[in-house]
Structure 1
Amino acid sequence: MDVFDAYEDDLEVIEIVEMGIPRQMYTRADHFYGLPELQFFQRFRLTKPTVLHLLTLIEERLAFPTDRNQAVSPINQLLTTLRFFASGGHLSTVADYMGMHISTVSRIIRRVSDAIAKLYHHFIKMPQTLMEQRLIQNGDGGYGVRHYFFTPLLNPHTQEEQLYNEAHIRTRNVIERTFGVCKRRFPVLAYGCRLKKETVLSIIIACAVLHNIARQMGEDEPPLPADINQHELQRLIKDGQISEVNVIDNQRRGSEIRRNFITNFFGNL
């Protein structure tokens, strides 16, 4: 073998090493303009006009200063996040559908969810005045009874106690139906998020904001995505309801006030 041939072979090896592995570039489909209205509504859970309205509210938070390195546009970031909300919580499925790397999808979901969640004060009503803050306490079945927070009786015996629990159940059913509507619109709430806790908290608030925006825009409930099993989703919604928790009741004052309320109100029915 000629010494020059060996030298050229070495140069080829050096050239290959210096070039490295070519960067993988993804082809991204234009889902906003490429899909018909109904298919878009089914896959992204909001209509196109509502998506554009939402984009105007968060676009400044999503825009990159340059288009270098194939920066994902704000509209595609929003659609990626909405597609994740419409899924069973699998990043790989969303990445394949949107034509992105899974790590890019993860960063986008965190970024967009946080941007939408920051709109909560415009779309979610919270106690405003000092009086409302004193009268309204947010909590769930894991809390013990307080003088301002009545929980169901675990073992009702008298007729007024049974009436009280029935009224409690009817009131709670309204909340559970609302949760069901949100979970059908955004199935990821039913399937669960396999992300960091901080991101999950932003996703929950973002879905609540989106639900209220959809109601303000007069949107109907979208049809389920083709990759979501209706019976499985309904089972998850049912199983995901908050069950009654047997909390040790050390709040004597709250118990006494609840007892007086039951006797005075339901005892006269």
Structure 2
Amino acid sequence: MTDLLENMAYQFLFESDEEDEISYKLNHRRPRIIRQRMNWLAIYDQTDFIRRFRLSKDHIELILQKIEEKLVPNTERNHAIPPIIQLQVFIKFAATGSFLLSVADFFGISKTSAERIVSNVSLAISELHKEFIKFPSENQDILQNKVSNFNLSGFIHVIGAIDCIHVRIQSYGGDDGELFRNRKGFFSINVQAVVNSSLQILDWVAHWPGATHDATIFDNSRFKSRFESGEFGNGVLLGDSGYPSLPFLLTPLQNPQTPSEILYNEAQIRTRSMVERCFGLLGRMFPVLTLGSRFRSPQKTLQVITACAVLYNLSRETIAVTHDDIDKYNNFDRDLHENLVQNERQYIIENYFQNLI
């Protein structure tokens, strides 16, 4: 009987405390605190700003001009966060890969505001991908691309190098969760990129789960169809051994025997390294791609990935090609065909690299 009375008393006290806590929360809401919003663009000089945001002030202002209308607060309330600070919030998040709470404190805003800003700004920047990530289509642009790539290691007809990078994510769960687990065991988005000698991204495909093979992404890409239609003439891509050997996609030989085959492999690997160098720079510039995002929605993750690629391309400058470079390239190219053949790799080995020995 005594135990029963003690249990009843304990339950009464517990429920009473819980009701008091709920009543306190309802009647004592935390006041809204408006902290000073930090516009670091106006505080830091150019050097300190680049160290913290990876981009120059001119780049920030250029992007702001293109997306400002989409970031203007649609509210009549005071203390709305201006677009210039919103843009800095997203870039700081991408450039550090930090928690949203840390980024929010850095700018004097709430975590909720930071999360909303990252989503809105990443969407606005990702929509600029057609302007900043584009493959050369004019003959003169294609030629300049070939010449700049040729200057790396003397590989003829190369428009770009292709490869994939795994962007680490948090598992989304659900029935399709395991589709994002890659062969290395962690969850990721498998992103395909084509890169030139300036380490600029020419093509960007970011919507495949991590379990998808690189060759599968290429087989289903619009980019492959453009090559199959002969849009780029005798232009070729360089890929690693994970891709099939095609007339327009040249891969390394597995067992080179002759001097010309060895020379082909060496030039192929050195030229193809530009895509790996690009991934390295991209990951260091925006660690959010390597440390792993914590978004619960694939759509938000893809927005951030593409937005980072747009900002990265904005920071890269095209390598200038001189008339002497073009003349030198044409001297090597004049005796080669203008259209691809069935076994393009063997043709280049026998008719180009063999003549270099």
Normalising by the residue count of structure 2, what TM-score does the alignment of the two structures yield?
0.52
The residue correspondences of 1:177-216 to structure 2 (distance < 5 A) are 177-195=277-295, 196-215=297-316
Measure the CA separation in 2 of the matches of 1:192 and 1:152.
32
Q: Which has the higher contact order (CA 8 A, sep 6+)?
A: 1
> 1:170 deviation in Å?
1.5
Measure the CA separation in 2 of the matches of 1:143 and 1:14.
61
Letter in 2 for 1:132: E
Q: Is 1:263 paired with 2:350? A: yes
- Pick from 42, 51, 65 the counterpart of residue 42 of structure 1: 51
Larger CA deviation: 112-121 vs 200-209 = 200-209
The residue correspondences of 1:246-257 to structure 2 (distance < 5 A) are 256-257=343-344
Measure the CA separation in 2 of the matches of 1:214 and 1:188.
17
Letter in 1 for 2:231: E
SS in 2 for 1:267: helix
SS in 2 for 1:132: coil
Normalising by the residue count of structure 1, what TM-score does the alignment of the two structures yield?
0.67
The residue correspondences of 1:1-269 to structure 2 (distance < 5 A) are 16=24, 18-19=26-27, 21-25=29-33, 27=35, 28-68=37-77, 70-128=79-137, 131-132=230-231, 141=240, 142-195=242-295, 196-215=297-316, 256-268=343-355, 269=357
Among all aligned residue pairs of Structure 1 and Structure 2, give the percentage whose two residues are the same amino acid.
Answer: 38
Structure-2 change in CA distance of 1:41 and 1:127 (3 Å)? closer
| Matched residue count | 222
SS in 2 for 1:264: helix
Instruction: Structure 1 unaligned segments of length 5 or more: list them.
Output: 1-11, 218-252
Structure-2 change in CA distance of 1:84 and 1:167 (3 Å)? same
Deviations 1:58-116 (A, max 9, x none): 10111122152743221111000110121034333322322333343233222212211
> 1:57 deviation in Å?
0.9
> 1:124 deviation in Å?
2.3
CA RMSD of aligned residues (A): 3.4
Q: Given that residues 67 and 124 in structure 2 are in contact (C-alpha distance below 8 angstroms), is that contact kept between their aligned partners in structure 1?
A: yes
SS in 1 for 2:73: coil
Whichever structure has more strand as a proportion of its residues is 2
SS in 2 for 1:68: coil
Q: Given that residues 38 and 85 in structure 2 are in contact (C-alpha distance below 8 angstroms), is that contact kept between their aligned partners in structure 1?
A: no
Structure-2 change in CA distance of 1:259 and 1:140 (3 Å)? closer
Measure the CA separation in 2 of the matches of 1:180 and 1:70.
39
Deviations 1:198-234 (A, max 9, x none): 33333333233223333469xxxxxxxxxxxxxxxxx
